[in-house]
Structure 1
């Protein structure tokens, strides 16, 4: 019977690939069929589960489970009684489909940090919501994971202070994270969402303690997601479209710290009509930007600017007199043009009090030079 089920799923995968009518539907059907085959394979492998149970000492404080054939039941046994566990890291376990029940996870009374990476078959976080000691959760490349239960409530505890979700872009249910899911995270201070190109709507950005927001490669996000936002301390984005979207929202106030990460456009534009006076720190990292706007001079409260791993950037605009610190790391072209006394950009940075430049020394290492104006 099991072989018949696998054959049917393989036929589903084959027909989905051959049809090619709807790319999104083909992708979803293929993933579902592949997951079903994985589940059937796991049942065949673990016909005697008692031989695969793992008992660990209750004094354990850090646990990493990686690249092993661990079943749902075996994980439950692993975690039972780990009352001292502070950090749990689970990575690349393709046989895992669900976290244990609330009864099992409630014993993790000391758990502070949870990292889940590349567990492609993981569908449910089980009773994770009951682990009220958790303060930080990071989920990366778990393409089958459903973050909400049947009632649309996120399966993460309200005690969370830092949440990072990355690379979960294949699952259609991630197109919308409901307000019920994030609205109960009253302790949330940092939210990072990366590489989720299909997500259109995000609610819950009005969490009262939310200070740091990272939205990287979420091109379909709409302005409605920010209708009830409050002032943040820092905001990290990856495109000019996201910046324009923010500025189009009535009464939206830019935070003190504005960061551009993985910005793949050659230039950036600051609209002259926008109010940038709230920005004190501006940073570009891992970006392909080649030029900066002249209007940067109008950021009258700007105190710090940083360029990290921006290999295409070689020239700088005139900076405002308020600027006190400039940092250049991993930008060889820019670093050369900012050297005293003959660098092309030296006259533009000479007045800045703190200049932090990274350079490679003759031994192949990395060093820093700090210059005071």
Structure 2
């Protein structure tokens, strides 16, 4: 019988680790999985191990010289001047041993999720190890070596001939995925992110609508710094519903970076767990409305791995398995198990306290500006809807 959802995981995913002090820390996968186990929301039968992506699959999105450079860097044989030209050995994306293998497994995890859904084994699949949306075809960027979502979308197009809607709610613009499909009218990309005026990678302007055949299939909603739940969710719900009706996808792929949270150390947005409860709810609804339930979710950013990521990512799995209404205290055993390892006091509730931060100045100005941005971003969608009889 087809499962509601599968959870792609093995401990081998933890090998994607730049250094002890680098902010991208896949220990957050363990924290999330343990939290789900503590509330009896997941069983061993729900977990599917990721496979390795083959080189042929990586070539769907990445250039061969770049893959060869990653292989050489993995064994310490790539000269420094060559490494820099490929975005490797930088402060953001340092070289680490066996990184080609670790990166290929992250990509393979997302491809495993694709096959589970497209071959009818599960309605939904969650691969929190993926979501590395900054990787380009020939260059590493922003903690991302290979771009698993871009490879997976190319794989979906080639193997399954599926029209794909990619939805990215990471606080950083999904630039690598956008670039891979900027001229493609069979892939629709939507990125909601903090404006590039203040945050890496500085792209994702509202007028980046695609080019050639892809013109009108790329959407960006750059949100003002200090955006809170109401404004974020309004932008998300309005854009995702109108774009889904406009594009009518065969499958939805969501990138679920959770670094728009107030506690995240690398961004300037001010959302709470209320946002992360609601993001998967609407994605789930639209997957059933347009795609017969086909929904693949990957991870992404999230750098407060103790207070934010486990709760926020758990909500995706709980939504996929129809257990989204969990609330109240977090499991005592989970807190006791991880508090001694955490550098900050762990929060004890599923939801954030109402007084988590002081009132944001210019709140109404921020909300009004975000509404104007949404209106501009959806110009093509609304023009197309007007032309329909």
Task: Give the structure with the larger helix fraction.
Answer: 2
Q: Which TM-score bucket, shorter chain as reference?
A: under 0.3
- Normalised by the size of structure 1, how large is the TM-score? 0.28
- Normalised by the size of structure 2, how large is the TM-score? 0.27
